[in-house]
């Protein structure tokens, strides 16, 4: 304990005594390490420097680690973390080579992540040696995955282990990549059809003035936003992912912690995720590959507090929770139905070098349109089978079909929308008879 206190005291001593205002750099208004987004080589593009150990070399607004940067700041405040600490990257290199792909060098194809984020140690080795504090924004590793649903499918005989992608034990062999957001602001502005200065001002104002450089440093065009990133789960022969002639299955999934992890049955998120993974495994078994892109965009990127408020508003409204009023309730609470902005989502698919998707597991038109608009073709859209939809999630499902989401089934009429009701809190759904007692 005494030793810990000594470290903390030492760490605290190393904290700066004067305030460094990143908004007004010493003696100049231009970064010494310019970034040329979309340049032909990593060297010409330049490293993204968001670390705070050397303020003069910073060329990005914000800091690394997304929302976790706040915890790191707390760790420095408490003395647990040395403010001068630099990561030791020995043996951290990716387990799989990804890229480079042609989309990496098109400034319009990728605007929300750093395509070289996983290659820092190799492409910027000279700069690292020269003392530049460059940090990875992407990490790639290998893992085995165990899902009860897939183990059940093996027992039922609907999925067959192959010893390569899916083991006898039910374990799935995967590669996964964690990606932090790195926003090239001129590209983001263009995607949304808004003036760059307008975007910068609004981002500044509506984060409570969190990043003054948004309005004071026009020379800094890269923002490391304090938001969640995306995790890729990759199945099968990864070298085939960019090959348009080899089958590829993709599911783009936006986080829903309540369903994905805890099995809450008001929505179809976990069933969709499981169905997406199953489809990826099947395609991988046929010699192709599968991609699950898991975005941290909880509750349509409105957050869980808004989401739970909406659940209550849905259940308590006059006439109960009906498919007819499904979307309206979210808008009443949040002022908007959805802020996931799928416009930025295809970046991660371009990072993988994808040009064609044979099977796209989703009923969302927003996701489909964004992918196709970005220049990736989709052969076939796939929705989950009806028997995978939990009873209370019929409200969401019917509302989505009526609102124009993709379905190869029937579109519900207004009578059905009114009669598709969710469970009330007092009701208990007994999964064994599959009926919803309020109906
Ligand atoms: Zn959900």
What's the burial of 391, exposed, middle or buried (CB within 10 Å: 0-12/13-18/19+)? buried
pLDDT in tens, 371-410: 999 999 999 999 998 888 887 788 888 888 888 888 888 8
Q: Are strands 230-236 and 222-224 parallel, antiparallel or unpaired?
A: unpaired
Ligand 1 centroid distance, CA of 66 (Å): 23
Ligand 1 centroid distance, CA of 297 (Å): 11
Q: Which residues contact 253 (CB under 8 A, 6 or more apart)?
A: 260, 269, 272, 273, 276, 292, 293, 294, 295
Helix axes 394-402, 326-334, angle to 10 degrees: 90
**Ramachandran area for residue 65 (φ above 0: left; ψ -120 to 50: alpha; else beta):** left
pLDDT of residue 1: 47
DSSP string spanning 294-306? EE--HHHHT-HHH
Ligand 1 centroid distance, CA of 298 (Å): 9
Q: Are strands 248-254 and 289-295 parallel, antiparallel or unpaired?
A: parallel
What's the burial of 27, exposed, middle or buried (CB within 10 Å: 0-12/13-18/19+)? exposed
Is this model's pTM higher than 0.85 or not? yes
Q: Is 290 helix (H, G, I), strand (E, B) or coil?
A: strand
Ligand 1 centroid distance, CA of 404 (Å): 19
Q: How many CB atoms lie within 10 A of CB 166?
A: 24
Question: Which stretches in the chain have pLDDT values below 70?
Answer: 1-4, 20-29, 429-439
CA-to-CA separations, 236 to 96, 153, 232, 233, in angstroms, rounded: 12, 19, 13, 10
pLDDT of residue 20: 67
Spatial separation of the C-alpha atoms in residues 439 and 426, rounded to whole Å: 14
Ligand 1 centroid distance, CA of 266 (Å): 7
pLDDT of residue 17: 72
Ligand 1 centroid distance, CA of 274 (Å): 13
Q: Which residues contact 400 (CB under 8 A, 6 or more apart)?
A: 326, 363
Ligand 1 centroid distance, CA of 307 (Å): 9
Ligand 1 centroid distance, CA of 399 (Å): 14
pLDDT of residue 95: 96
pLDDT of residue 409: 80
Residue closest to 214 by CA, chosen among 231, 202, 226, 228: 202
Ligand 1 centroid distance, CA of 272 (Å): 9
Residue closest to 355 by CA, chosen among 244, 236, 246: 244
CA-to-CA separations, 285 to 64, 164, 280, 356, 423, in angstroms, rounded: 37, 8, 9, 19, 39
User: Any idea which residues carry the catalytic annotation?
Assistant: 338, 340
Ligand 1 centroid distance, CA of 85 (Å): 39
- Asked if residues 192 and 343 have their Cβ atoms less than 8 Å apart, the reply is yes
Beta-sheet strands, E only, within 30-161: 61-62, 138-145
pLDDT of residue 3: 61
Ligand 1 centroid distance, CA of 254 (Å): 9
pLDDT of residue 110: 98
Spatial separation of the C-alpha atoms in residues 12 and 8, rounded to whole Å: 6
């Amino acid at each position: 304990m005494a030793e810990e206190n000594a470290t903390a005291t030492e760490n605290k001593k190393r904290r700066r005594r004067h305030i460094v205002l990143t908004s007004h750099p010493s003696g100049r208004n231009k970064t010494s390490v310019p970034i040329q987004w979309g340049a032909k080589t990593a060297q010409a593009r330049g490293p993204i420097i968001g670390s705070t150990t050397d303020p003069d070399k910073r060329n990005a607004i914000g800091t690394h680690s997304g929302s976790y940067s706040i915890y790191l700041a707390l760790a420095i405040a408490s003395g647990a973390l040395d403010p001068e600490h630099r990561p030791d990257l020995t043996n951290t290199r990716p387990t799989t080579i990804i890229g480079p792909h042609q989309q990496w060098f098109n400034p319009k194809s990728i605007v929300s992540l750093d395509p070289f984020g996983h290659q820092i140690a190799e492409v910027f080795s000279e700069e690292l040696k020269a003392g530049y504090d460059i940090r990875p924004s992407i990490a790639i590793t290998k893992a085995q995955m165990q899902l009860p649903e897939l183990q059940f499918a093996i027992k039922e005989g609907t999925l067959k282990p192959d010893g390569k992608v899916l083991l006898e034990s039910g374990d799935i062999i995967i590669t996964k990549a964690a990606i932090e957001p790195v926003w090239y602001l001129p590209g983001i502005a263009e995607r949304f059809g808004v003036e760059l200065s307008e975007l910068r001002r609004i981002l500044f104002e509506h984060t409570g003035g969190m990043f003054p450089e948004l309005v004071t440093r026009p020379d800094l065009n890269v923002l490391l936003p304090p938001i969640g990133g995306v995790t890729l789960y990759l199945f099968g022969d990864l070298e085939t992912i960019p090959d348009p002639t080899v089958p590829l299955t993709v599911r783009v999934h936006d986080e829903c912690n309540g369903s994905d992890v805890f099995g809450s049955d008001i929505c179809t998120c976990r069933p969709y995720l499981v169905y997406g993974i199953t489809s990826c495994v099947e395609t991988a078994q046929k010699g192709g590959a599968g991609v699950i892109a898991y975005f941290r965009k909880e509750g349509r990127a409105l957050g869980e507090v808004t989401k739970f408020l909406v659940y209550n508003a849905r259940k308590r409204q006059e006439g109960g929770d009906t498919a007819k009023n499904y979307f309206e309730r979210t808008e009443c609470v949040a002022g908007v139905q959805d802020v996931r902005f799928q416009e930025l989502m295809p970046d991660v698919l371009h990072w993988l070098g994808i040009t064609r998707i044979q099977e796209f597991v989703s009923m969302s038109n927003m996701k489909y349109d964004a992918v196709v608009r970005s220049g990736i073709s989709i052969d076939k859209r796939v929705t989950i089978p009806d028997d995978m939809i939990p009873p209370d999630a019929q409200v969401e499902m019917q509302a989505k079909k009526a609102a124009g989401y993709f379905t190869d089934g029937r579109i519900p009429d207004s009578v059905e929308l009114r009669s598709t009701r969710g469970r009330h809190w007092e009701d208990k759904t007994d999964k064994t008879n599959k009926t919803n007692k309020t109906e």
